[in-house]
Amino acid sequence: MCKKEERHENKTFFHVFANGNDCKNLLTSVDDFIAAFNRVGICTLYSKAEVVCFALEDTHPHFLLYGTKNECLKYMLKYQKSLLRYLVYSRESVKDISFDLDILEITNERHLINTGVYIVNQATKDRKHVLPLDYRWSSGCLYFRPSHYISVWEIDDNGNRLSSMPLKSIPIRNQYKIFHTHTKLPQEWIVCNGIILPQNYINVSIFESIYKTHNCYTSFLGSTKSFESVIEKMSRHRGIAMETLEAREIFSSLCYQYYKKRDARWLNMNQRSFLARELRKKHNLTFKQLSALCRIPEDELHKYLR
């Protein structure tokens, strides 16, 4: 059963995403897609963050999360590590796999409205011949639908109805083989054809409360202008990927200007954090570059920088 709407003053929305141009050899088979899809639900068991909507493509995923920043950051890092672990295990190599997620706080209602439809519409926007409510690798078919609606995960390619069952119907020893995880899964969750149905964990009510009516939702769903706004915010947040040598020179100059040092290893954490903020503000460097230059873990940077 889908979760009911529940909002709290100390929680907000976050857009978690990857840059498709930076991700390499991410999802290359149906098995990869199923594993990545199931991990969306599995990772909710490690964080109190709510998954409001999501979409997976071969080069990049997108999530709309609801929770505190720490909760959503915890979910993001768990998903990233979990999926990479699966891919390395299934391919027996880390060669040529590149996958980094980023997290962006949503600051106003229009940004929220635009982000929700941008995520749901990923496949159609990227010119796949499918409508958002028919795309198998997203939560798009869940919203503004009647309660008796049969989801896309419960129908095969020929239109035949597939049987669903609770996890408890599958022997525990077989669950690891099917879902590739040692995590103890809720045995009441419903699965179908090896897929953990998103109805088990997606907060449909929160998503629908963003748009309020079917008409409002469909109006924004087809708005190219809305998508352009989201893309601009993601690009600005990711920062500018300078050449490594140029970024090092800028850092070295700033570091010497303030602390008469050329390397962050001689600085304390407060000094490193200050330089990271200055580099982000003045040069909009990416979080990955800031992490390498300032010697601060990337997940820590996300807590202190916007």
Average pLDDT of span 193-200: 96
67 beta partners: 12
Mean pLDDT of 152-171: 94
pLDDT on residue 171 = 93
Average pLDDT over residues 169-187: 92
Region at 196 (left for phi over 0; alpha for psi -120 to 50; beta for the rest): beta
Q: Look at residue 282 in the predicted model and tell me its pLDDT.
A: 82
pLDDT tens by residue, 31-73: 999 999 999 999 999 999 999 999 999 888 999 999 999 999 9
The number of C-alpha atoms within 13 Å of 272 and in the hemisphere containing its C-beta is 18
User: Is residue 5 classed exposed, middle or buried when 0-12, 13-18 and 19+ CB atoms within 10 A define those classes?
Assistant: middle
Other CB atoms within a 10 A radius of the CB of residue 298 amount to 16
Q: What pLDDT, on the 0 to 100 scale, is given for residue 93?
A: 65
> Which pLDDT score, from 0 to 100, does residue 7 have?
61
pLDDT digits (tens, 9 = 90+) for 76-93: 999 999 998 898 888 776
Q: Which residue has the higher pLDDT, 3 or 19?
A: 19
The SS3 of residue 140 is: helix
**Is it the case that residue 196 has pLDDT exceeding 50?**
yes
Distance CA 296, CA 268 (A): 11
Q: Contact at 8 Å (CB) between 119 and 54?
A: yes
Give the pair of three-digit tokens for residue 231: 């893309």
The structure tokens listed for 277 are 């903020």
